[in-house]
Amino acid sequence: MDRPVVVVLFGGRSSEHSISSATAGGVLRAISRDRYGVIPVGITREGVFVLEDDDPDKFALDAERLPEVVDNGTRILWPEGGGDRALRVRRADGTIGELGTVDVVLPILHGVHGEDGTVQGFLDTLELPYAGGGVLDSALCMDKHFMKIVLQAAGVPVSPWVTVTRAGWARDADGVRTDAEALGLPMFVKPARAGSSVGVSKVADPSELGAALEIAFAEDDKVLVESAIVGREIEVAILEGRDGARSRASLPGEIVLTTREFYDFEGKYLGGDGAEVVCPADLTDAEIARIQELGIRAFEAVDGRGLARVDFFLGPDELYVNELNTMPGFTPISMFPKCWIASGMTYPELISELIDTALERAAA
């Protein structure tokens, strides 16, 4: 039997372009070539779809030189729809080549124009099966404001917050300050629709709020101001159930901060000191069960599909969901894979799980 053809789609127009590219390096290195035919497709920062080299080293995560997709002159010609799944490429010299019939797309894209439902809708229109979240859960979880509203409505506890728009800040700065200060100090300011801690600031004094909002507004016109919860940062990985089974949760992991204020971009990806990813976390059996159950409930509340990482704040007597990521960091050192590895699954098996789940859904 022929191997299913998987398009590994990465890069993109968001500020998380390089993290997506680094994720691709890990996936291209680990995906089983015995089980799947692989076509790497990159999206440049300008939104151009190009045929990439099948070379994991090209996209290795390097703090000195973050990887990215550059325009190499090729152009991916997507299927024309109506049941056609033939992928083609127009090369730099103008010739057109056949790449194969696509069985499933693995869109390892982070941030806007990829993790927010836009690419998912594009693939749905072409009737191309894909792994991971669908349009609804991707769009919902990309917007932290609406994500919190949905979770709150489902009875899932979330940390207190205020949503601020750029127009609202310009129109009534004093009112925004009053609402934000009611949350108490310290507080966190973050873009509503960004990830990897891009644009996030910790505010310890009211005088710092304006500058923090401007940093966040550089990423998004809508920003969240959240209470800083005193407690442990716990994360659990969720996979969609197969054959009608309920979704399942990994052993939880923990972000342990020592000298770093919070788990920022440098701590996550650039090897900065002061933060460590620990999985499994040191928790009681009761705490593990509670976190796993609430993680699955949160995934179900947003109509989750494929996978998600659910992030929590665990206090002495409280457990809050901070956010869901429908395409979490997927490099071999990221929390999502580490949690499943600690739960008994290898990194290549995890990649196969995502692809096979999508193939089964398409067949059904």
Looking at the structure, give the CATH architecture of the domain made up of residues 5-130: 3-Layer(aba) Sandwich (3.40)
Helices and strands in the chain, H and E counts: 11, 17
Which DSSP state fits 250?
Answer: -
Residue 263's contacts (CB-CB under 8 Å, 6 or more residues apart) are: 197, 233, 255, 257, 275
- Using CA atoms, how far apart are residues 291 and 338, in angstroms rounded to an integer? 17
As a whole-number percent, the residues of the chain with pLDDT over 70 amount to: 95
**Which superfamily is assigned to 140-157+230-363 in CATH?**
ATP-grasp fold, B domain (3.30.470.20)
What single string gives the DSSP state of each residue in 30-42? Answer: HS-TTT-EEEEEE
Q: Where are the alpha helices (DSSP H) in the chain?
A: 17-30, 118-126, 135-142, 144-153, 166-171, 173-181, 209-217, 265-269, 285-301, 335-342, 347-363
Domain locations along the chain = 5-130, 140-157+230-363, 161-227
Q: Whole-model pTM?
A: 0.90
pLDDT digits (tens, 9 = 90+) for 32-42: 999 999 999 99
CA distances for 364 relative to 49, 71, 81, 106, angstroms: 29, 37, 19, 18
- Per-residue pLDDT at 265 exceeds 90: no
Contact 163, 145 (CB under 8 A): yes
Sequence-distant (6+) residues with CB within 8 A of 200 are 188, 189, 190, 191, 216, 262, 264
**Under 8 Å between Cβ of 100 and 88:** no
CATH 3.30.1490.20 corresponds to the domain 161-227? yes
Average pLDDT over residues 334-355: 96
pLDDT confidence band for 345 (50 / 70 / 90)? very high
Q: What would the DSSP string read from start to end of 304-331? A: --SEEEEEEEE-SS-EEEEEEESS---S
Q: Give per-residue pLDDT as tens, 105-146.
A: 999 999 889 999 999 999 999 999 999 999 999 999 999 999
Instruction: Give 260's pLDDT tier (boundaries 50, 70, 90).
Output: very low
pLDDT the model gives residue 262: 52
> What is the average pLDDT across 344-350?
97
Best CA proximity match to 351, nearest among 8, 120, 27, 34: 27
Give the 3-state secondary structure percentages of the chain, helix then strand then coil, rounded to 5.
Answer: 35, 25, 40
